Structure 1
């Protein structure tokens, strides 16, 4: 199966129903509005990212003007065929020598079921709640290619001895979402002007070959700066090879009929070292100074907290300064700021929260930012800092209630009610803050910001009372409760009156 020419992309009409598999040419050269149709949100995002990477390499726009044109107008057949030149055998899933995202000749003691290739399907805390039974039994070529790409680029390795991708074990991916799949792809493809700034050797490095054409050498030390754009976008950190396919039938993932289905694969441990940092265009990154040396890394989901808490990192770039974190939004988000032209931003955010090789949570959602988002980063920052300020005020007051004041012989409850209240704060404030970011008038934000302060203040007081109510009549905790309540009121008053932005470490 050739990803460039065969029908493997599962889609449905944006307005309507009916799933079909189409080719890349049909997708890019026809004006019909289609959307991906897969049973899992993470597989849909991986499929979109896979398509973006292919289009990025084969048809990069020359400048911003052409980027806008590509979003609005399908490719001609001539343009499509011209882009295929030189890549015809690079994306063949069952190539006899260089199969897509695989290493030919993997030696393993036993085969592994395809369910292990679909991230979070088995062996994870969340698998019983979000997956249909038998989803990974037999995959068509398209779903197998998507699973290979997703495992290599977006997930932790298979366990001890297996490497993760260039972005780390479970990176956050941010993409721009448009009204249909075709325009979404082009909105996430960097034009040549953008590429020159961050990948100055991108055109020369095309000839390096993908990892399945020029495999990584065992125990090799690879300078990150030597990894070209093409090789980096399709980096395969593991030794994987699909087993020979079985007979025709229904794909257990997308539900389509396939003439060949893949039931298992081979995997083998393999080690190497990448020295330095490779900037991925679809991920935000941060820079911190450790022992006087700046270190960069792509960020991931590490805590079960809502996405609005991460908006500063996902959307707003900031230079590294003393005692502050440097950060940079994904390159596709930076380019979107130039393409905004007064339009709202629909940002797809995806990733996994993991415990080593185990996936404990899947995180895939869309956040909306109303028009003006590209010009008013200060307002976005204020909303996020305000939310975190009230969260910290509530936690501090309840932490005092839990720990007491040892110097004054004031005992605490010793029950971690501050952690329960903090989870409830995130859960109950998520809808309000997310909706505010999507609807606020960034030109005249004061009224909505005042409403945010009132809402969060009332929420903190309500959560404080709910957390401490069971101990209200405990004689030994009466003084502790009174002091904690005064601390909360004082902090809420400071936030409301002065708009102080709390950025203190969490106790």
Structure 2
């Protein structure tokens, strides 16, 4: 018997507008009181479940026009309307029981599979090598032995959506290992989901009606394309654009158990009589290659008719120095080309000129090892093409100068601390990395404040005010980044005691940094300060 349906059952933990907490089915997104946020036990589950909900609505009940999109943005549909649209998909979204089962291999047999503990379903669990080498310092073994169905479902979708390299034949996600996601936030959970659903004005983002349509969208309803041999990759022509929401690179089969006494989940603490302690896995699942495009992820465009490459999560992936490229693309003269996520590209056409909030999240991966889950928010200003081009050029200049100031500050720190400038010494990379991140974090609030001021005349269509304001903002920005570089240099190179022999080297590095930084700001930002010693 099949159990635990991810569309019809009330399993998703949410926070309500009245402060209450409950569990809803996806079709209850528009219920009263309104769900305003997910209430999940892990941050990676939170990002993944937002993607799950966007995928459900995009697949099952997308808007067919901008008018439709605006109508349900202003007046959400009744829950019964959502249920009616999702009901035909109910049979394909069971988690447990007889296959086909959600995100699980259709044909994997007990003889083929390798049975492993359920902890392996979590991206941040220590891998086999870490266990053998006893290097599970930060993420310990043995912490996860039993999951409730809710957490198992969340972990399963998270793994399939963000899967990193997992060893020979264990494929990465459709977007590669550890992709970055950017979602437009709303005031309610429905608004957040609906903001990111694309207008399906053509068949590209509508559920296909052909006999093979279901299998082209939901890969667990058909046999996996075993990818052990050459020529067996899963290409866009083998699927449908909607498949991007439901990519399934890993061959997995959950093993559920029923106990007389409820057993506590090792993630959320909920006690249930149905638990998942193990799963069966097998390598050589769907091997995604080619020009797949996930609507919630930004991409690098390598040009030369090469397929786009998804932007990956990184420690500075949510910092403001990534803001321009992720949300607007890079300046025209940039050597690199970034394509903002499709959900971001459509926002400008569907919203007023009010500031939107963008959630940015993803795993910072080092091949098979997750370094950290990165998550943050960025402001987004809906702009016309001409306005966005002006923003790209001006703010692109600010960021370019800031990055050169930061880089020169790090060089000065190395010159000050090491007699050979760190060329032959094993420099403290942790120190330099911390200084680099501190530069971005300490200048972030000023950056966003200046951008907000720059955008105001852009949105009003006032070129006179814009031209008058730009030099002032450039000087304020130059002052901020110059002062921050000097403070960080002092913290890293001038702190503590140093000998009379070291002093000339330290202050020589400081004066050289000042000359370069001030000269750069004068040349690029017109500050009027041509450098020189303090």
Answer whether contact 1:120 1:126 (CA < 8 A) is retained: no
Distance 1:146 1:131, change over 3 A: farther
Cα distance in 2 for residues equivalent to 1:101 and 1:173: 20
Aligned to 2:166, the other structure's residue is in SS state: coil
Partner of 2:336: 325
Shift of residue 363 of structure 1?
0.5
Shift of residue 168 of structure 1?
0.3
- Once the two structures are superposed, the pairs formed by residues 92-107 of structure 1 within 5 Å of their partners are 92-104=94-106, 105-107=108-110
- Work out whether 1:8 is the aligned partner of 2:11: yes
Partner of 2:274: 260
**Counterpart selection for 2:48 from 46, 52, 62:** 46
Partner of 1:499: 525
Unaligned ranges ≥5, structure 2: 458-468, 528-534
**Counterpart selection for 2:456 from 443, 456, 468:** 443
Cα distance in 1 for residues equivalent to 2:333 and 2:238: 30
Shift of residue 128 of structure 1?
7.0
TM-score of the superposed pair, with normalisation by structure 1: 0.84
Answer whether contact 1:287 1:326 (CA < 8 A) is retained: yes
Cα distance in 2 for residues equivalent to 1:259 and 1:397: 58
Answer whether contact 1:99 1:212 (CA < 8 A) is retained: yes
Shift of residue 101 of structure 1?
0.3
Aligned to 2:94, the other structure's residue is in SS state: coil
Shift of residue 423 of structure 1?
3.0
Cα distance in 1 for residues equivalent to 2:375 and 2:402: 26
Answer whether contact 1:285 1:298 (CA < 8 A) is retained: yes
Cα distance in 2 for residues equivalent to 1:286 and 1:387: 18
Deviations 1:136-162 (A, max 9, x none): 433232222221111011131433320
- Once the two structures are superposed, the pairs formed by residues 86-485 of structure 1 within 5 Å of their partners are 86-104=88-106, 105-107=108-110, 111-123=115-127, 134=143, 136-193=144-201, 206-209=213-216, 210-219=218-227, 220-247=232-259, 248-271=262-285, 273-289=287-303, 294-302=306-314, 304=316, 306-317=318-329, 324-369=335-380, 375-376=387-388, 378-379=390-391, 382-383=394-395, 385-396=397-408, 398-399=410-411, 402=414, 411-412=420-421, 414=423, 416=427, 420-421=431-432, 423-434=434-445, 436-437=447-448, 440-441=452-453, 442-444=455-457, 446=470, 447-469=472-494, 473=499, 475=501, 478=504, 481-482=507-508, 485=511
Partner of 2:462: none
Cα distance in 2 for residues equivalent to 1:75 and 1:158: 41
Answer whether contact 1:172 1:351 (CA < 8 A) is retained: yes
Partner of 1:504: none
Cα distance in 2 for residues equivalent to 1:126 and 1:22: 40
Answer whether contact 2:165 2:177 (CA < 8 A) is retained: yes
User: Please, what is the CA RMSD of the aligned residues?
Assistant: 3.6
Unaligned ranges ≥5, structure 1: 405-409, 502-507
Cα distance in 1 for residues equivalent to 2:192 and 2:294: 18
Deviations 1:181-206 (A, max 9, x none): 1211111111113x65x659966573
Aligned length: 489
Answer whether contact 1:64 1:191 (CA < 8 A) is retained: yes
Shift of residue 300 of structure 1?
0.3
